[in-house]
Structure 1
Amino acid sequence: MKTIGNTILITGGSAGIGLEFAKAFDAKGNHVIITGRNEERLQKAAAQLTNVTPIVYDVVDKQATDELVARLENEFPDLNVVINNAGKAAYYHLDGDQDAATLAEEEIITNYLAIIRLNQKLLPLLKKANEAAIVTVSSIAGLVPNHFLPTYAASKAALHSYTQSLRIALGKSTNVKVFEILPPLVDTEFSAEIGGATNGIPAKQVADELVEAFENNTYEILTGRTADVFNLFLSNPAAALQAMNPGVELQTA
């Protein structure tokens, strides 16, 4: 997959990993379209980039999605890369007082259903490009869950499965490549509540590895600790689950 001369849509591109994606691809001479819900934050992010179009957009809003797709078709007919980065996470315990069903619904819509909707609506445009790509940003928790991210992990597991199916479907007869990047804990504002600042990898590392994956056509990118946990899961699923839930006594068969 080429890394220059693309027109790239990045949802949730105003901060964290999304902004680092934008910086990495902007630096290589691509046009980046970044979206976010907060206009002020979006404009501050855009000021750090060279070839950028900021668009206020909430991925869970169906009407806004239709309007975004119509605008992209009209103003950016050469769009050829979509990076589905916007996400939502709730940190809580399933045996607590929080409304798990409501939290799960918000995460599933943001992290899974909204991605399916946007990708489906943009596929006709992407298929017109000589070379195109869809990127999903999954998580280490989509492979092996963590107990204080219970429904977030479930949403990312669903996204991981969907991405594999999408790759198979599009690989049959289209020029649209499907990439999935699965970060571990990353040092962003998004993860500050669970120790991202002290235990997370830099967001820039995630972005750099995506660029490298484009260059090498590596479709599943296991960044940082994710690769170790995945390999452990293949050999010893119980040990992998313990590694993702340190200090917790697990029930075993």
Structure 2
Amino acid sequence: MDITNNTILITGGSAGIGFEIAKAFTAAGNQVIITGRDQQRLDDALVQLPGAIGFKGDISNEQDTAALVASLIKDYPTLNLVVNNAGQAYKYDIANSENAFDKAQDEMLTNYLAVVRLNEKLLPLLKSQATAAIVNVTSIVALVPGQLTTYSASKAALHSYSESLRIALERSSGQVKVFELMPPLVNTSFSAIINGHNGIPAAEVAADLIDALQNDKYEIHVGNTKHVYDLSLKSREEALTLMNPVE
């Protein structure tokens, strides 16, 4: 896929991985639209993204999503790339929690169901383009669950959905490609609850995405995620131990 002259939506694009992806696409000569829930953080990000557009809203909120989609159809009819990056995560002891359901519900809505809803509403527009793509940002925990237990489950759901959507679109429209970006631990404020300072730079994730888009590499294992994936095939027990160290 050509990584220039596209119209790109990046959810959760005001910080972390989403922001670095927005920077990379902006530098490559694309029209970039980012979403974020915090207006100040959105404004701060836009200062560093020449020509980018910001949309304040929460993709887990149905009304915000409807407003975003309406704006895109009206003002950005050439939209041809959607990066579903916005996420929610909680760290807690699933065996000793009184509100696991509430946390899991929030994660599943933001990380999975909201993505399904947004893709559904934007697919007609994407299918009208000569070439188009959807990028779903999952995680290595989609394959081997880690310390963020129900977050891992939500990313596993998104992984399965991504594979199914890819097959369905290949058999129908043909021109809408589905990529899945699987980062390892990344050094962002989002991952601070699991010692994210030990992770790789978010810019590395963005660079791997750009390379994968150019080479039509649909499942993108960033950093050590390929090692964890290979280990899970060799020894599921070893992979689970690696991803769930005793603290």
Q: Distance in 2 between matches of 1:49 and 1:36?
A: 14
Q: Which residue number corresponds to residue 69 of structure 1?
A: 69
Q: CA RMSD in A?
A: 0.9
Q: Which residue number corresponds to residue 34 of structure 1?
A: 34
With the length of structure 1 as denominator, give the TM-score of the two structures.
Answer: 0.95
Q: Which residue number corresponds to residue 233 of structure 2?
A: 234
Please state how far the C-alpha of 1:243 moved relative to its aligned partner: 1.1
Which SS does the other structure have where 1:201 is aligned?
A: coil
Which SS does the other structure have where 2:133 is aligned?
A: strand
Which SS does the other structure have where 1:217 is aligned?
A: coil
Alignment of 1:205 with 2:209, yes or no, is no
Which AA in structure 1 matches 2:205?
A: V
With the length of structure 2 as denominator, give the TM-score of the two structures.
Answer: 0.98
Which residues of structure 1 form unaligned runs of 5+?
Answer: 249-253
Which SS does the other structure have where 1:83 is aligned?
A: strand
Q: Which residue number corresponds to residue 213 of structure 2?
A: 214
Superposition pairs of residues 80-95 of structure 1, within 5 angstroms: 80-95=80-95
Pick which of 238-247 and 25-34 moved more. Answer: 238-247
Q: Distance in 2 between matches of 1:111 and 1:158?
A: 9
Which SS does the other structure have where 1:187 is aligned?
A: coil
Number of aligned positions between the proteins: 246
Q: Distance in 2 between matches of 1:32 and 1:189?
A: 22
Please state how far the C-alpha of 1:97 moved relative to its aligned partner: 3.4
Q: Which residue number corresponds to residue 155 of structure 1?
A: 154
**1:192-238 Cα deviation digits (max 9, x unpaired):** 121111x1010000000000001100000011111100001111111
Pick which of 65-74 and 102-111 moved more. Answer: 65-74
Q: Which residue number corresponds to residue 172 of structure 1?
A: 171
Which AA in structure 2 matches 1:200?
A: G
Maintained 8 Å contact 1:92/1:98: no
Which residues of structure 2 form unaligned runs of 5+?
Answer: none
Please state how far the C-alpha of 1:96 moved relative to its aligned partner: 2.3
Identical pairs, percent: 55
Please state how far the C-alpha of 1:98 moved relative to its aligned partner: 4.3
Please state how far the C-alpha of 1:247 moved relative to its aligned partner: 3.1
